[in-house]
Amino acid sequence: MFLVDIQAVRSMAIGAMLAVALVVLAAATLLPAVLAMLGARVDRLRLPRSGRVRHGRDGFWHRWATAVMRRPWAFLLASLAVLAVLSAPLAVTRLGQTRAGSMPRGEEPRVAVERLAAAFGAGVVGPIEIVVDTPGGATAPGNLDRLRRLTELLRSDPAVAQVSSLGSLPPNALAGGMAGLDPTLRPAAAGLANWDRGADLARISVISRDRPESRAAEELVSRIRDRYLAAAELAGRARVGGTTALDIDMTTELTRRLPLVVAAVLTLSFLLLACAFRSLLLPLKAVGMNLLSVGAALGGLVAVFQWGWGERLLGFTSEQHLGQLTPLFLFCVLFGLSMDYEVFLLSRMREEYLRSGSNELGVARGLAATARTITAAALVMVTVFGAFAAGRLVLFKEVGFGLAMAVLIDATIVRIVLVPAAMKLMGHWNWWLPGVLDRWLPRLELEPAQPSPAGRDRQPTSV
């Protein structure tokens, strides 16, 4: 997330990394100490009817894994079809800032904004601010003519309701008030430091006829930047800001950086899994399936929040877009959560494979031994994340719903259907790693070293 040049994103990255580091530290130090102090008393308050779970052939999850591997193509194609349908809305994702208008009806911020818009026009709650460098002042020769030309062009645009606040400002009037913001979040003030410190600044405030988050308002900002400034001979001397311009520039930065973030996450995940499992295909499979689960969650998010399918259930008003930071944040967090499940599941499957020499038996026993734990952990996280969806702020609703949906998909469709089906079809190629890579990649052994089944003179054990 540090690859995105937005301070809010980097702050979330620092918080997430600190949280993970502290949890790992506690798990490696505090937890063993507490368990040692409790000793056998840790099982004293046993839940009723919580006897020992059977992981053998008679266990449910062993039978389920066997059933999936008997018809791997049918289960694989069916689960891929479900994920593809859930991911389809992702193609029409639109990003924007979440505003007071998305809050439940009757909330004070929403009432204030609605009354303001009704009395003075929809665009008054988010005017477009134009700051122009005017050496010698707005009335200096040439400056006044250019400003008048720009004002005339703006007033002739059918999307503009009002143009006002033409005049001169001290050179540091705006820069001082925005100095604490990241450059990508202050488009109106961007570049002020490079302007002539002795120059005045002229300000033009434009009120659109449409809401600041609407497509019409975004198109107006684009016309001002691309056409009107050039026509008034102010290109390079003016900066266009305001809430709508902020939305455009934030979305541009996120869209530009997102492919780099995705590539970095996928590459690092592949390398770490290849080192841990000494395999080439398993990391590729894990990366692909995690992408499917994240895509399905984001697709569901678009349907519920952008299209408004969940308005009545979750108590919000759709603004026909997702929060700008939501997809990036969800992708990074969900990929981390998905990799947790992947490492937990595949490490047990690899352990069973090394013991038995049978790919099918390793998959069945590994799933049987971990499915209950994965399901229980998923239920806990779905409950916690679902609590966010009950909040008042739409951004929290989006994050909570997206995380809950992704964990549910990952722990059900992906881990207990796609994984055993795909590993059955790949067979012993699951555990193949070219000799060159085996020598080059560092070893991150998750389990004690055991003899490889490739060197055993025996037939693989059947499921």
In the structure, what pLDDT confidence band is assigned to residue 55 with cuts at 50, 70 and 90?
Answer: low
Q: pLDDT at position 341, please?
A: 81
Confidence tier at 441 by pLDDT (50, 70, 90): confident
Q: What is the spatial distance between Cα 146 and Cα 308, in angstroms, rounded to a whole number? A: 44
| Listed residue (113, 128, 140, 150) closest to 199, CA to CA | 140
pLDDT mean over 195-199:
41
Going by pLDDT thresholds of 50, 70 and 90, the confidence category of residue 182 is: very low
| Contact (CB, 8 A) for 164 and 205 | yes
What is the model's pLDDT at position 173?
Answer: 46
What residues contact 124, with CB distance under 8 A and at least 6 apart? Answer: 116, 117, 207
CA separation, residue 291 to residues 284, 334, 414 (Å): 11, 9, 11
Q: Alpha-carbon distance 352 to 366, whole Å?
A: 6
Give the span between the Cα atoms of 126 and 117, in whole angstroms. Answer: 10
Question: What is the average per-residue pLDDT within 48-60?
Answer: 65
Split at pLDDT 50, 70, 90, the class of 450 is low
Q: What is the pLDDT of residues 383-415, one digit of tens each?
A: 999 888 887 788 889 999 999 999 999 888 998
CATH class (in words) of the domain with range 7-32+54-99+258-455:
mainly alpha
- Helix or strand (DSSP H, E) at 201: strand 200-208
460 has pLDDT over 90: no
The Cα-based distances of 306 to 98, 111, 254 in angstroms read: 11, 22, 18
- 48 pLDDT band (50/70/90 cuts)? confident
Q: Residue 443: helix, strand or coil by DSSP?
A: coil
Distance, in Å, from the CA atom of 348 to the CA atom of 359, rounded to the nearest integer, reads: 12
The Cα 198–Cα 206 span in angstroms is 26
Tally of residues, the chain: 463
Give the CA dihedral 239, 164, 221, 301, nearest 10 degrees.
110
Q: Is the pLDDT of residue 210 over 80?
A: yes
Taking alpha carbons only, the member of 96, 86, 94 closest to residue 300 is 86
3-state DSSP assignment of residue 310: coil
DSSP state of 132: E
- CA dist 65 and 356 (Å) reads 17
Q: Where are the domains of the chain?
A: 7-32+54-99+258-455, 102-247
Task: Give the distance from CA 299 to its chain's centroid.
Answer: 12
Any idea which of 58-67, 135-144, 320-329, 342-351 has the lowest mean pLDDT?
135-144
